[in-house]
Amino acid sequence: MRIPGFTSTASKRPEALFGPGAPRGLPVRFTRSEGARLWDEQGREYLDFVMALGAVGLGYGHPAVSRAAHAAVDAGVVGSLPPEAEERLAERLAGLVPAMERTRFLKTGAEAVAAAVRLARTHTGRDGLLRCGYHGWHDWCQSPGAPGVPGAVTALAEELPFNDPERARALIRLIGDRLAAVVIEPVIEGPPSAEWLAVLREETRRVGALLVFDEIKTGFRVALGGAAERYGGEPDLVVLGKALANGFPLAAVGGRRAVMEDARRAWISSTLATELVALAAAEATLTVMQGKQVPAHLGAVGRVLFDGLAELALRYPLLLDAPAGVPEMCFLKYRNEETGIQLARRAAERGVLFKRSAYNFVSLAHDGGLVERGLEALEESLAELASPGA
């Protein structure tokens, strides 16, 4: 095998999906995807709730997005000048996400949130950070002792508890004039409280730090304007990725003009940040998102899934705890890790890909019938696990 660790995307490894020592016969590589379905290298079809780790909000291979991408390929993909599509997409984002008065594009979410951190440090002249959630693999957000990461770098960032207003206030005041930014995922196993967001906004302003929303997962999913529109919080910077281009590699960092203008001083640049294909795919994606009111669809269909998972938790209390997340991105919690492993394996045997940890995602291609089919596969699997001798 030529790829260390089986694949370049860690969360798609067999052990990540199906636990260590997964038996042969489970799906490990795919050859084709369409709508809410995926086919493995054996030609077997699966109903997918992982949806490329949330990178696809419209469904795989959405026709409008594919047409736009093909046209961009025919137009040459890249050039020696910046494309007009770059400015056009930035204008679209400014109309959808009020905080994004100015925008820079990159290729991955991890890259974009690292750019947000650099902008915050440039703007404030400070180094300290508070982080809450998962922000990728770059050095700044790794835990102390992470292999290959200098301790001096990890020492500059501390963990901020989710939805704990008093702890947030205390930490921000403690770091004070050393704090460049508070970087949060707005949804972590549940929605943010209004009080927590208010404290973050008030205290960062008080000490002169920036508030950064990492909306790589929530962007265009919980609302067209993301979590900032749905829950509030008034971020200074917003990071988008995943569903922005419906599976094509594109991410963005945007924010208040005064902050984003510091991108002229901070070195943030990538050769392929402005290739045409992903920009065209993102424009087409936003058109569908607006025209089809996709977040409303995700909320309605996701509610069927979330409520179904809650019902399963009531029926199998020895195996399951209550579901977590929000309807648009949710997952089951288990009484023990082995239950999650076995459920993911047995669901796959029934033709359903269901992530055993955060998160599962619905898309525009999912409807109530497909969700019910997925829930039936989960219930059959749980019934097997609950039977004597399982």
Tokens of 52: 């490329």
Tokens of 143: 């835990």
Tell which phi-psi region holds residue 215, choosing left (phi > 0), alpha (psi between -120 and 50) or beta. alpha
- Find out whether 252 and 239 touch, Cβ atoms under 8 Å: yes
The phi, psi pair for 112, rounded to 5°, reads -70, -40
Tokens of 60: 């795989």
Separation CA 358–CA 54 (nearest Å): 10
Catalytic residues: 134, 214, 242
The phi, psi pair for 181, rounded to 5°, reads -160, 155
Amino acid at 203: E
* DSSP state at residue 318: T
* Per-residue three-class SS string for 39-103: EECCCCEEEECCHHHHCCCCCECCHHHHHHHHHHHHCCCCCCCCCHHHHHHHHHHHHHCCCCCEE
Separation CA 305–CA 376 (nearest Å): 11
Judge residue 364's burial from the number of C-beta atoms within 10 Å of its C-beta, 0-12 exposed, 13-18 middle, 19 or more buried.
Answer: buried
The phi, psi pair for 103, rounded to 5°, reads -140, 145
